[in-house]
């Protein structure tokens, strides 16, 4: 009872006990989230209410001896959100990222999520969020597979065998009869980890084929997912997929960098995004060519629309498809390109479900903020 405030702390082992790794439930949660976004019942950062978050980056050279300097994926970011619908609470993900962490035996990013009461802002939970973020990120592509991939999709192409694509592949295998995975990666260690994870999680997958070119991973794949290490230097350095490589009826998913031919996107493929308002916000914050600064294929969609090469109405929102406002897959021959941007509302949605599981099962450590505030 107020004014006393307690909140729940959930460590990474607590999150696992509370079901953070349930890929099917997480996909169902993200499906409901996308419908809620299409209904407009949410707010994120910025004046437009759709900002991905507020990011601190660092200079290439600093006159201050203790200030960090620029490096691959080096940043801090705060990602606040309110999410309505059945979720109806606020929260924020906070994280720092630095590729050099791996030399210290740490993940590239270390993440935490705070959930708050929407009225009082009182904290409800502080939770370890590396697994939370990875699973919600992979479940948004999962919704795309559930609703847009051909039912008999058996061959999955993977570019970038890291954590996100490992969990994505696990998710896809729960939704489609995946038998073969073709893998394009940079190092043996990451590919071995990827294959080892999936052999444990998905024993029905029969074949793992390591390929040495982008063409080899794309050709004959029913689904392709692209999550390579983030390239620097603009879109000319993103993995480039030629139209002739793409199988009829394929679903191409871009939670990471991938580039495709302008004419293919504008006139041949069906272009789908996870939330069109996010891409419009990026286009406002990072003016055209946005795709050079935001390595997500949906940013190229909006660039093409800006340059009058593609009508903005050709960019379909998955939430609108789920709500029956727009058509989904329209033929077995149609190629669909699905862009995944990532949003803090996803952390709030899956965070709430995991938090409620933890409360129901008595998982976690209750911490006291105060019995009574000293000042009010």
CB 81 within 8 A of CB 42: yes
* pLDDT(232) > 80: no
pLDDT of residue 376: 85
Question: pLDDT tier at 130 (50, 70, 90 boundaries)?
Answer: very high
If phi over 0 gives left and psi between -120 and 50 gives alpha, with beta otherwise, what is residue 49? left
Q: State whether residue 339 is helix, strand or coil.
A: strand
Strand runs labelled E in 257-297: 259-260, 270-273
> Tens digits of per-residue pLDDT, 132-191?
999 999 999 999 999 999 999 999 999 999 999 999 999 999 999 999 999 999 889 999
Q: What SS3 class is residue 94?
A: strand
Please give the pLDDT value at position 309: 97
What is the per-residue pLDDT across 196-214, written as a single tens digit (0 to 9) for each?
999 999 999 999 999 999 9
CA proximity to 137, closest of 256, 258, 302? 256
Instruction: Flag whether pLDDT at 73 surpasses 90.
Output: no
Across 93-97, 174-178, 232-236, 266-270, least confident range: 232-236
pTM assigned to the model: 0.94
Q: Which of 110, 100, 105, 96 has its CA nearest to residue 71?
A: 100
pLDDT (mean) for 66-85: 95
b (16+ CB within 10 A) / e for 61-82? eeeeeeebeeeeebbebebbbb
- Cβ distance 128 to 12 under 8 Å? yes
pLDDT at 229 over 90: no
What are the chain's domains?
5-132+345-370 (3.30.1780.10), 140-343 (3.40.50.720)
Single out the residue of 37, 142, 133, 165 nearest to residue 350, CA to CA: 133
Structure confidence by residue, pLDDT tens digits, 9-44: 999 999 999 999 999 999 999 999 999 999 999 999
- Does residue 231 register a pLDDT over 90? no
Q: Which helix (H) or strand (E) segment is 9 a member of?
A: strand 5-10
Q: Mean pLDDT over residues 123-136, rounded?
A: 98
C-alpha 43/C-alpha 204 separation (Å) is 40
A 10 A CB-CB count for 117 gives 15
Residue 9: per-residue pLDDT: 98
User: Tell me, what's the pLDDT at 339?
Assistant: 98
State what percent of residues in the chain have pLDDT above 90: 94
pLDDT at 72: 84
Checking if the pLDDT of 1 tops 80, the result is no
């Amino acid at each position: 009872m107020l004014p006393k405030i307690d909140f729940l702390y959930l460590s990474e082992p607590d999150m696992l006990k509370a079901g953070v790794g349930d890929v099917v439930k997480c996909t169902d949660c993200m499906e409901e989230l996308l419908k809620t976004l299409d209904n407009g019942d949410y707010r994120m950062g910025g004046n437009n209410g759709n900002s991905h978050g507020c990011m601190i980056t660092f200079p290439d050279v600093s006159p201050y001896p203790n200030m960090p300097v620029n490096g691959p994926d080096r940043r801090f970011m705060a990602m606040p959100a309110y999410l309505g619908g059945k979720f109806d609470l606020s929260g924020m993900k906070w994280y720092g990222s630095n590729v050099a962490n791996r030399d210290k035996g740490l993940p590239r990013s270390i993440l935490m999520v705070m959930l708050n009461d929407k009225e009082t802002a009182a904290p409800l939970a502080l939770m370890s969020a590396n697994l939370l973020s990875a699973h919600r990120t992979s479940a948004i592509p999962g919704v795309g597979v559930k609703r847009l991939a051909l039912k008999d999709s058996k061959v999955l192409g993977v570019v970038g065998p890291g954590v996100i694509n490992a969990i994505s592949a696990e998710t896809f295998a729960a939704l489609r009869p995946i038998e073969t995975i073709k893998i394009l990666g940079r190092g043996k260690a990451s590919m071995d980890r990827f294959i080892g994870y999936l052999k444990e999680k998905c024993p029905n997958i029969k074949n793992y084929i390591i390929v040495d070119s982008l063409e080899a991973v794309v050709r004959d794949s029913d689904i392709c997912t692209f999550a390579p290490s983030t390239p620097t230097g603009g879109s000319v350095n993103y993995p480039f997929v030629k139209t002739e490589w793409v199988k009829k009826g394929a679903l191409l998913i871009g939670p990471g960098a991938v580039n495709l031919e302008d004419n293919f996107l504008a006139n041949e493929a069906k272009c789908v995004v996870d939330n069109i308002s996010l891409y419009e916000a990026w286009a406002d914050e990072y003016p055209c060519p946005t795709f050079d600064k935001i390595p997500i294929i949906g940013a190229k969609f909006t660039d093409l629309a800006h340059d009058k090469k593609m009508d903005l109405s050709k960019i379909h929102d998955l939430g609108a498809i789920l709500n029956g406002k727009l058509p989904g897959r329209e033929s077995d021959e149609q190629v669909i390109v699905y862009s995944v941007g990532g949003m803090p509302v996803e952390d709030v949605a899956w965070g709430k479900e995991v938090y409620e599981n933890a409360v129901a099962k008595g998982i976690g450590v209750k911490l006291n903020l105060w019995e009574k505030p000293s000042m009010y």
